[in-house]
Amino acid sequence: MSSNSEHPTLNQKYTRRFSEPFKRRCVAQLTAGEVSIAQGCRLWQVSRTSLYQWIYLYSDRIKGTRTVVEMESEGKRIERLLARLAELERIVGCKQMEIDLLQTTLDLASQEVGYDLKKKYATRSLSTGAVTPSGVLPP
């Protein structure tokens, strides 16, 4: 045989015929999301047009309607983000309880000592001139 009959050149076209079971298997993989259209074109060496024709012929899709396919990864991403949100809300709740506890403790200590521990003002010692926090006596 000549080499031209085995492998077509750029100007020559050849037609391949695929069996119906093969087409149905391809469509099943495409509609299940296992393979994308671009991957199917490379994998089965078929044009995009042929794949779309097979989908319309052999799938359960109704012609003229738009089908929105949500990728599994998008659903997992949303689920992961919701779990992260719940975790962060739990952490914020725990931190708020800790803050409330510390403020209550500070209020009780202020009442026991007799002056406000929340204020951060400094006083000068008359004898040494050193600056000390309020309520703390210099040695």
- Comparing CA positions, the residue from 45, 40, 58 lying closest to residue 14 is 45
Among 12-16, 113-117, 128-132, top mean pLDDT goes to 113-117
The percentage of the chain sitting over the pLDDT mark of 90, rounded to a whole number, equals: 36
pLDDT class for 139, splitting at 50, 70, 90? very low
For residue 59, the model assigns a pLDDT of 83
Q: Please give the model's pTM, rounded to 2 decimal places.
A: 0.39
In angstroms, what CA-CA distances link 64 with 56, 61, 67? Answer: 10, 9, 10
Helix pair angle (48-58, 20-32), 10° resolution: 90
3-class secondary structure, 7: coil
- Pairing state of beta strands 131-133 and 122-124? antiparallel
Q: For residue 84, which amino acid is it?
A: R
In angstroms, what CA-CA distances link 21 with 3, 26, 27, 68? Answer: 32, 9, 10, 26
Mean pLDDT within 76-103:
95
Better pLDDT: 33 or 94: 94
Residue 101 pLDDT exceeds 80: yes
Look at the block and give the residue holding tokens 């089908």.
Answer: 67
